[in-house]
Amino acid sequence: MARRYRWMGRGPHSRHVTAGFAARRRQISGALGCCVLAVGAVSPVGAVESTCYGTSSRGRLEHGASLPLGGSNFLAYSTLGWSLGRAYLHSRVRSAVLDAFALMQEDMPDRVFVYGETGWQNGGPFKPHRTHQNGLSVDIMVPVQRAGASWPLPGDAFNRFGYGMEFDAQGRSGDIRIDFEALGQLLFRLSETAERQGAPIARVIFDPALHAELFATSRGNWLRRSITFMQHQAWVRHDEHIHIDFSLTCAPLDAYATSN
């Protein structure tokens, strides 16, 4: 069986997860007001384009750009993780992600999204992940619903900031359920915006046990035809998040060593 990520805290705790809902709801409400400021503060318009080196499992990044803490319909998985600088990306991938969230605001205005870890400003080893080293990898937490309403995936130190959540093959965890429709549409939009940035999606890792539910959505046939999903279980189970690798030609890793 695939292992779980081990860092920053212990396993899920139902009391804290339930309490986390309210806290995250408040947090995203606050983020709605802060988004313009956050975007402007992190990466001003006209910022330098990033350069990636090597591969996602052995790479670096120059001029990495952070995702904002939140926006009108999305939020970071953890304010702490974000403030530690764990949400940096290649500028093109960052734009693709933000453009996709913006399109989702039009497509499904009642949905909220939570992005997960991405990488360091200068790339390199990013524990506990095995990849995420050159700015081309993004984790996005699964969109979820509770009592029919969209909720940000509950995340705190007690459930490893959402990474400790466990879903069954129907996408259920306690009283929350994966919103497969929203996930399918998000992947569709992300594919579109990534193409536009010249950094198409290379592959998506999502627990194979949950593929059937995803492929049963409105975008299911399109996803099956157009996106490369890893078909076997990864080294950790990807039920509470999807991992996306984007495709860009990067400079050789040696070049980073000589320019820094």
Question: Which is nearer to Zn ion, 94 or 243 (by Cβ)?
Answer: 243
Question: Which is nearer to Zn ion, 53 or 77 (by Cβ)?
Answer: 77
* Angle in degrees, 0-180, between the axes of helices 180-196 and 91-107, rounded to the nearest 10: 130
Q: Characterize the bridge pairing of strands 241-246 and 172-173.
A: unpaired
CB of residue 137 vs Zn ion: minimum separation in angstroms?
A: 5
Question: Which is nearer to Zn ion, 18 or 131 (by Cβ)?
Answer: 131
Whether 199 and 247 have beta carbons less than 8 Å apart is answered as yes
Query: Which residues have a Cβ under 8 Å from the Cβ of 182 and sit 6 or more positions away?
Result: 104, 108, 111, 113, 143, 150
CB of residue 132 vs Zn ion: minimum separation in angstroms?
A: 6
Closest CA to 117 of 131, 105, 103: 131
Q: CB nearest Zn ion: which residue? A: 243
CB of residue 139 vs Zn ion: minimum separation in angstroms?
A: 4
CB of residue 243 vs Zn ion: minimum separation in angstroms?
A: 3
CA dihedral 17, 104, 131, 251 (to 10 degrees): -160
Question: Which is nearer to Zn ion, 38 or 205 (by Cβ)?
Answer: 205
Binding positions for Zn ion, rule: CB under 5 A: 139, 243
User: Around Cβ 13, how many Cβ atoms within 10 Å?
Assistant: 16
Q: Please report, for residues 54, 55, 121, 251, 260, the alpha-carbon distance to residue 254 in angstroms, rounded to integers and kept in the order given.
A: 8, 12, 18, 8, 10
Closest CA to 96 of 194, 175, 185: 194
- Cα separation, 185 vs 164, in Å, equals 24
CB of residue 241 vs Zn ion: minimum separation in angstroms?
A: 7
8-state DSSP, 200 = -
CB of residue 92 vs Zn ion: minimum separation in angstroms?
A: 18
Question: Which is nearer to Zn ion, 136 or 250 (by Cβ)?
Answer: 136
Question: Which is nearer to Zn ion, 139 or 179 (by Cβ)?
Answer: 139
Question: Which is nearer to Zn ion, 116 or 145 (by Cβ)?
Answer: 116
CB of residue 177 vs Zn ion: minimum separation in angstroms?
A: 22
